[in-house]
Chains A and B, each alone.
Chain A
Amino acid sequence: MTVPAARELVARFFAEPPPLVPADLGLLVRVAGEAYFVPASRIVEVVPPLPMTPLPDSTASAIAFWRGSAYPVVGDADRPLLLLLLRSPAGQFLLATGGPPEAISRERLPEGVPDFAETA
């Protein structure tokens, strides 16, 4: 609703915003057998396996506690290999991935791999 401070700052000090180039780094992960790209800017922390309480019929498949806060777990909560704490517009959540992640830049991403979207 308010102009984000970043945009204000850019508008204040630059005639044009700094150029954006498609060199984002991130992780290529597997969730439910599908490959997804997770931009590094979304990753808050890599989290070790945690006890999880399943939550059927929901976008979040489980709930877990990490550092005193409760987080919804999205993805392969029943057999997670790795948990990533990710940012979302509504807060933070844990993404349970079912395979080893691969660090990759968006430029080198195999064709057709979408960004991970928690509401999909």
Chain B
Amino acid sequence: MKRGGGIDFGAEAAERIETAKAVLSLRRAPRIGEINELFRAAHSLKGLAGLAELDRVARCLHEAESLLDSLRLSKIEWSDGVRRALSEFFELLDAAIPAVAAGSDEGFPEERALRLISGAGRGGAGVGEEPLSGMLDLPAATLSCLSEYEESRLRVNLKNGAPIFTLDVSFSLEDFERGLKELGERLNERGEWIATLPQVSGFSPDRLAVQLLAALPAELADLGEEIAARRVSREAAPPPGPSRATRAAAARSIRVETSRMEALLSSAQDAYAAFARFAEAAGRLEGALSSTERAALAPLRRRAELTMRGLAREAAEMRTAPMSRLAERLARATERLVRTSGKRAVFRVRGGDVEIDRAIAEELADPLLHLLRNAIDHGLEAPEERRAAGKPEEGTITLMARARSARLLVSISDDGRGIQDDRVLERARELGWIAPGHRPQPEELHALLFRPGFSTAAKVSEISGRGVGLDLVADRVAARGGAVRVMSEPGRGARFELEVPIAAAVFEALIVSEGKNVYAVPLAAVRRLSPARPGDRSLGGAMGASAEESPGRVRLELGDDAAISVERVLGQELVTVRPIAGVPIPDYVMGASDGAERGAVLVIDPKRLLRPRGGQEAA
């Protein structure tokens, strides 16, 4: 079904409903961030329904959005009744999607849905309206700066007995964004970062100071000496502890935050690496033991090694998935969007076998979906327009993934009309971002696409209400330490490339040596080992080090007649490869593994090393 600018309500709504249902399936009261997620889901769904002219659905979603707004502002309290009502409401919506997507929402049970929402809205009382000035030692001017949401979070935390602190912090101008974000994450781990207030003092030439308002446990020792914390809430009785039933429900919960899972997986891999080094050192000492002692030790060591290796392997497998999984999801979305757009397009995938971190895949899914929609809505031309331009009627959208050093590059490209620079310029001038008479370079112009406020204002008739703009695509990628690049050629198409660092990769590698240095070569890159032949390039020589021809060198056969020699093969290990950033490094260095006393073990891509080089360094 295509309505109002090519929106496929069914496909779009399914994702938002899935998000809402995931939060509602928690066996505990959702945290504020999760209520915000629910609110955003309802808000986006309402926008989509409005755009698709589904008035009944939109009316109900408006009520659901109001209910969730009251919950996030703590005007009403979360309860099992609210959960049941919202769960049933989203189930109704989910069940209605096929019929709605077929063209009309006439069959949608509007009355029942509205009854559910209004019933839930009559829930328990909120957190009260007593003046905050009586509870907090803060100037009235400061309190007057707070938004309704911030006030409500203060009230909730005060009601729960959480001490409120002001934290005076400053960051260098160049590090402000990252520093503030990192501190915010730390605060949210321990309590809740409620508001950021301007500071009228504390500035230095290169530092910007702000005051944060946060609810935190009384112990603040770990926040660091540079942070001046002051308790501003009056002493209150400690909050009642969780009931036995609540504790039991929490114990049954299996939902784990991604960051914690990532930390656990990293620890598992580090534990294996540490054990491997320990086993190597212990092996050297075994010579001093008697044969009986050695015999007793051997099975224990083998068992420990197998367990640790299994743990690291499980962790590696849990951590990554082939790109093709995400690609399948995007292919289904493309099919639906193309079908309803009146255009014709084929979706191609290159690099589907590239293994990517699941957390990264999850982070990239929404940005990539947004780029896909853009490619279909704005990039690809209608069949007749393509025919007139001498192009095949069927356009091509390509998802490409490749790992470069310790970074993952994923791009969405199309062979459509390219970015229409004149339209971008016109809109930028309307917004006052470009001075009259100034004609910016394409890169400067394309960067404006990612500025907050550009897409929403410029495309209000086409994609507003979707909840994600290009600015959020860039923000989501930047939050992962990555960047977005745009390439466009008028009449030929556009490519949006997302580049993100890979947290860590784990794979089996051959550990080899060249002189005093130890390197790792992915086992998957090596077909077989054989004695080195005259004329084989040495690994050290190919890297630019002075190569010594020593007898007994080993040839690593890489396939396609390519081979490289090394002085010795020390063994095979499961290595945890960390990315290297900071300055450009040669692109044949995939990363480094911690070799403890032998230093960083560089992980080498041998085929890339053998390629002719020149400007090969990758940032």
Contact = CB atoms under 8 A, between A and B. Distances in A.
A5 B176 contact: yes
A57 interface: yes
Contacts of B517: 53-54
B379 to A, nearest CB: 19
B599 A58 contact: no
Nearest to B208: A6
Q: Which of B450, B582, B589, B619 has most A Cβ within 10 Å?
A: B582
Q: Which of A1, A6, A51 has most B Cβ within 10 Å?
A: A1
Nearest to B485: A1
Interface in A10-62: 10, 12-13, 18-24, 39, 41, 50-60, 62
A90 B176 CA distance: 16
B452 A65 contact: no
Contacts of B172: 41
A90 B582 contact: yes
A87 interface: yes
A2 B175 contact: no
Interface band, chain B = 35 or more
Interface residues of A, number: 48
Contact of B586 (A10, A23, A53, A58): A58
A50 B600 CA distance: 10
Contact of B602 (A1, A20, A53, A87): A53
Contacts of A70: 578-580, 591-592, 594, 600
Contacts of A12: 198
B293 interface: no
B580 A2 contact: no
Contact of B175 (A9, A13, A41, A72): A41
B259 to A, nearest CB: 16
Contact of B583 (A18, A41, A50, A90): A90
Nearest to A25: B206
A65 B592 contact: yes
Contacts of A62: 600
B5 interface: no
Contacts of B619: 90
B180 A63 contact: no
Contact of A65 (B208, B481, B582, B600): B600
Q: Which of B205, B475, B583, B598 has most A Cβ within 10 Å?
A: B583
B484 interface: yes
A72 B580 contact: yes
Nearest to A10: B208
A19 B173 CA distance: 13
A107 to B, nearest CB: 11
Contact of B600 (A5, A53, A91): A53
Given A55-B585, A55-B586, A70-B591, A6 B173 contact: yes
Contacts of A68: 270, 578, 594
A9 B208 contact: yes
A14 to B, nearest CB: 9
A1 B600 contact: no
Interface of B: 171-177, 180, 198, 203, 205-206, 208, 210, 270, 447, 450-452, 471, 474-475, 478, 481, 483-484, 501, 517-518, 543-545, 578-586, 589, 591-592, 594, 597-602, 617, 619
Interface of A: 1-6, 9-10, 12-13, 18-24, 39, 41, 50-60, 62-65, 68-72, 74, 87-88, 90-93, 118-119
Given A5-B176, A55-B586, A63-B602, 4 more contacts: A53-B518, A65-B578, A72-B582, A91-B582
7 contacts: A1-B478, A4-B177, A20-B206, A50-B599, A51-B599, A63-B585, A93-B582
